[in-house]
Structure 1
Amino acid sequence: MIVGLTGGIGSGKSTVAKMFEELGVPVYITDLAARSLIESSKKIKNSLIDLLGKEAIIDNKPNRPFIAQQVFHNKELLEKLNAIVHPEVHADFKNWYHEQKTPFVIKESAILFESGGDEHCDVIITVTAPKEIKIQRVLERDHTTKEAIEARMKNQWSDAQKTAQSDYVITNKDLENTRLQVHEILQILSKK
């Protein structure tokens, strides 16, 4: 069984993913896989240069600040970037998935719905948090601006859109309560 785990920026989905991992559930982090594939795949690097120009790759490595600056304010470019990276991540996930020996795995993705990744999941969990909490978390984590965070939020589905299509919702305001919700969902999934 494939369990999709998603949530908007700052919701705490990575924290929830770690909680599941600590409980023995294999977790595939799509963002980390995408970063690794962008670093290692000549095909992706060439496609990035074709899409964004030579500045996208410096010293054979992705120029992340430049790429982010180009795509986060341009929905069309973001969609083209995703069309380059997502098929490669999906193929990598399939290989990883077939190596696992547990009843279910978790596929963590910030843009699970936006990328169509939900279609490959049997169950979906969305992690939510109040907007102010999300912004505060990202400000502390990324040392960015509120405006930059809100621009990224606009490129993601709202919590309401995600929760409407989810099987389970974890409200992540405090760690103790979040951990309880993770345990409850794990018990339910273990019986399926």
Structure 2
Amino acid sequence: MTDRAVLQVRLEQGIDALGVALPADAVPRLLDYLALLERWNATYNLTAVRDPAEMVTRHLLDALTILPYLQGETLADLGTGPGLPGIPLAIAAPGRQILLVDSNGKKVRFLREAIRALKLEGVRAVQSRVEEVQGQFDCITARAFASLADMLGWGGHLLAPHGIWLAMKGKAPDDELPGVPAAFEVRRMHALKVPGLESAERHLVVLGRRATSQ
């Protein structure tokens, strides 16, 4: 078991490197989430990442890289798995209504326990296929769970007219851009730097509805 103080240093150094401002209680709460994930992961295999120090980098800091791009009062995290990036974002930028969506029952059970244990206000978890979810959201996050075409094909109805879709990818998904449905457009693509993962490619694709489709 990696000492919590070591994990805290790694997390705080990563946050400093990202240059993001978090609430005063965010670091201990993020570490509480990590401890809960590690505990459940031993039984339920929620993530392939086993080492807590690696979880800090690959889960927490990876999620926090998109913090500057969030907007609006409502957010849906599609294919959230064990709550990534949704739960770190809920801790780092509280105050919005967040819906965590996953089709896997054991992951949703973990999400509901995490919401309860961490006292995450305004956060809900639903077990559902993305295409069956209802509502519209100012911001949608999705962490490499499908191609851009499939993401938008399944979940495009959830994006509010002036909302933004934040698709987290590894390498730049240039080959996926022609498949973006006609009702949507790529607004920007950002290369992300995750502290501790300098050799790994990370990109954020920001999409929105075309003006004509509103």
Name the TM-score, length of structure 1 as normaliser.
0.29
Judging by fraction of residues, say which structure has more helix: 1
Judging by fraction of residues, say which structure has more strand: 2
Higher relative contact order (CA 8 A, sep 6+): 1
Name the TM-score, length of structure 2 as normaliser.
0.27
